[in-house]
Amino acid sequence: MLGGLALKWKWRERMRALGKPTDQPNIVTGPVQAVLWHQRGLLPLRASVVVVDGRAVALAGPSGMGKSTLAAVLAAMGHNVIADDICVIGAGKIAEASVQPGLPRLLLWRDALDRLGIPPEGLRRALSSREKYFVDSGQGSVCELHKLAALVVLVRQVSCALTIERLRGHYALCKLHSIVHVRRAARALGRDPDIFTALTSLAPMGVTVWQLAVPDNPACLDEAAAKVVAALQS
């Protein structure tokens, strides 16, 4: 975490010295941080993490799939958000899959704020050219590791029905591989065997994998959150 912040500070200094804007650091810090996690032998996934009834569940998927918005809906139901956008897990060479603490804030688009009834006034914008905002999740800094209980991979549903299904075996492995952060860079670092080991170790550690197929219709988010909670309790 400190390494990532140091990177951001140095980047800001350089940009200021060049008279350039400093409002888009994530292009620098996000991928670089993910590479650093890989180099440290950890597994960065494209996921937000919410603790439901004491169990950490990672909501995973590519950008625009609704990870942060779904995390915000679960937060509004009283569940704690402990990471957004990047979920770093330790797995493979240890006894349990643990989630590293992330920043206690969510990045939400304006449409998501409107759906959630959060006024944008007073929120800091993440980008000057787009209506994306930092929203404090209200839990203060998260310091402790959490045991990962479940991974829910969000996919686009082509029909109108919202569905959640348990994935197992090869199909689960393929889905999980698709949500590994900076996969190309990781491959260049020779991380493929370790990633395979880490992903295949999740099931024996008791981590369940689910696929949540979400229609485009934004009105279905409450139902999606309820399905996630029900799946964890099943």
- Give contact residues for other proteins (rule: CB under 8 A): 24, 26-27, 30-31, 34, 62-64, 85, 107, 109-112, 126-132, 156-160, 182-185, 215-217
Amino acid at 23: D
CB of 30 to other proteins, least distance (A): 5
Our CB check for other proteins shows the closer of 159 and 234 to be 159
Longest dimension (CA), the chain: 55
The phi, psi pair for 156, rounded to 5°, reads -80, 130
CB of 181 to other proteins, least distance (A): 8
CB of 216 to other proteins, least distance (A): 3
Residue 17 burial by CB count (10 A; 0-12/13-18/19+): exposed, middle or buried? exposed
CB of 25 to other proteins, least distance (A): 8
CA distance 88 to 15: 28
CA distance 22 to 198: 36
Our CB check for other proteins shows the closer of 16 and 156 to be 156
CA distance 167 to 189: 29
Closest CA to 157 of 114, 218, 229: 218
Our CB check for other proteins shows the closer of 98 and 211 to be 211
State the DSSP string of 100-111: PP--SEEEEEHH
Our CB check for other proteins shows the closer of 14 and 156 to be 156
CB of 182 to other proteins, least distance (A): 4
Our CB check for other proteins shows the closer of 107 and 152 to be 107
